[in-house]
Amino acid sequence: MNNFTHWNEQGRPKMVDISTKDVTQRTAIAHSIITLSDELYQAIQQGHIKKGDPTQVAQIAGIMAAKKTSDIIPMCHPIMLQGTDFQFTYQQGTSGYELHIEATVKCNGKTGVEMEALTAVSVAALTFYDMCKAVDKSMVIKETYLVQKTGGKSGTYMRD
């Protein structure tokens, strides 16, 4: 338990001091999956979602969330992001479809962007749900996870 970095000598929460860390190029890729019905998939493909294209709105929300991560995750440092991008891929599942959401976040900084990437895909998934709930309330937001991170003292991480 002594290895936790977000606790001070009094056992109280603190923001980690990154003042002596080197600036490196940092990237993080996160992934989230949403299940949806055949009916919803067809409505999206035919442009019948009354609120508009749910992936476009989800992408904008995800980008905004990445930029605001330090406002909602208490110990995150504010980071000047240099880029945030998304990929949305529909795949047919055993019953219905899955939407795979992937966000890539980049910066040159003293701390990583894993939380920004994870926040981006999480908010994108929630926004997609909000955009489509009139057609399908049974959607399930499934796995959300870090795929890869680069940069910093710990180097590269690749999910198996």
Output the known binding site for substrate: 75-77, 115-116
Among 26, 28, 30, 47, CA closest to 124:
30
Q: How far apart are CA 36 and CA 68, in angstroms?
A: 28
- The reply to whether 22 belongs to the active site is no
Task: Note whether 100 and 89 are within 8 A (CB).
Answer: yes
Q: How far apart are CA 57 and CA 51, in angstroms?
A: 9
Neighbours of 98 (CB within 10 A): 18
Task: Please tell me which residue in 53, 130, 136, 160 is annotated as part of the active site.
Answer: 130
The residues assigned a catalytic role are 130
